[in-house]
Amino acid sequence: MSNYKTIKQITQAAPPHMVGDGFKVRNFIGQSLWQDLSPFLMLDYNEPWDVLPTNHPRGVDVHPHKGFETVTIAWDGMVSHEDSSGGKGTIGPGDVQWMTAGSGILHKEFHAEEFSKKGGRFHMAQLWVNLPAANKNTPPAYQDLLDAQMGRYPLPDGRGEVRVIAGELNGTHGPARTFTRINIYDAQLQAGADWQLSLPEGDTLGIVVMKGNLLINDEQQARTGDLVVFGTHHTDVKIESNNEAHLLVLSGEPIREPIAAYGPFVMNTRQEIMDAIDEYNSGKYGVLH
Ligand code: MN
C-alpha cells in the first residue's frame, strides 16, 4: 500500500499587491490554511521584479509585531532590517533574516541602500511562523542566516540541490534556531529530477512552486504559482520535475492551539490581542526611528 501523503488541495497565489512601496507580493498562505499548514501563518512571495535605481530606498517603515516570527528569504536583491531590540542586518542573494518578534518589537524593512542606488532584480519571500503559547512572550531575537551556512543536500544523479534553511533533510541540517520542529527547504531541481521526500507522520506540508512543472505522487500536476497542500497522515512524497524547477518546501509539527490574529499581532485569545494593542500604544515595544 502506498504511503504517499494525500494532496488536499492545489491553490494559486493571490494577485500581487504592494507592501509599503518595496515589496510586490502574492499571498500564498491565508487564514483558511492555518490548520493545514501550521505553524506557517503567511507567505508573501515577491516574484522576480526589476527595480529602478533610486536614492530613497523602498520598503516598509516602522511597524510592530508580536507573538510569532518573520522569516525573509532573499534570492535576488538586498534588504536591510532594523528593530527596537537592537537587531539589525542586511542580507543578499541566498541569505535569510529570521526575526523573532516574541513579546513585542518594532521594526522596519527596506531595500538595502547600495542595492537601491543601482537597482536591479529583486526576488524575495516573507514567511510568518507561529510560536506556541508557551513561547509567545519570549524576548525578541534576530538571526542573520547567510547562504554559506545553509545545509546543502544534493539530489541523486546531480539532478539538483536542496538548501536546508531550517530543520533537517536526511541528516543535513539548517542553521535556523526554531521553537518548534520546522523544515524549510529551498530546492532547485533540474529537468528529470526525481525527489523522494520522507517526513515524520503527523507533520504538515506545503510545497510552493516558484518555477516549474511537477508530477507529484505519480498522480497530480503542479505548475508555477501553485501551492500544493498535503494532509498530515502518511510520510512520503514523490516529486518529479519536467523542467527546471524552484520550490519552497514548508513542513513541521503543527501547533494545535487557538489563533487570534489582528494585523501584525498573532496570539491565542482576543484578550491577548487587545493587550498587545495597549502595549504597543503605550510604547512598551521600545523606540525605533
Ligand atoms: Mn514586518
Q: What is the pLDDT of residues 124-183, one digit of tens each?
A: 999 999 999 999 999 999 999 999 999 999 998 899 999 999 999 999 999 999 999 999
Measure the CA–CA gap between 133 and 125, rounded to whole angstroms: 25
R_g (Cα) of the chain, nearest Å: 19
Tell me whether strands 141-145 and 260-262 are parallel, antiparallel or unpaired. unpaired
And the C-alpha cell for 107?
521594526
Grid coordinates given for 212: 516549474
Q: How far is the CA of 264 from the centre of ligand 1 (A)?
A: 7
273 Cα to the center of ligand 1, angstroms: 17
- Say what the alpha-carbon torsion angle 165, 102, 129, 200 is, to the nearest 10 degrees: 70
If you ran DSSP here, which 8-state letter would residue 109 be given?
A: E
C-alpha cell at 129: 511562523
| CA pseudo-torsion sign 8, 9, 13, 19 | negative
Gap from CA of 63 to ligand 1 centroid (Å): 6
Task: Say if CB 126 and CB 23 are below 8 A apart.
Answer: yes
Distance 224 CA to ligand 1 centre (A): 26
Q: Number of helices (H) and strands (E), helices first, in the chain?
A: 2, 26
pLDDT digits (tens, 9 = 90+) for 207-257: 999 999 999 999 999 999 999 999 999 999 999 999 999 999 999 999 999
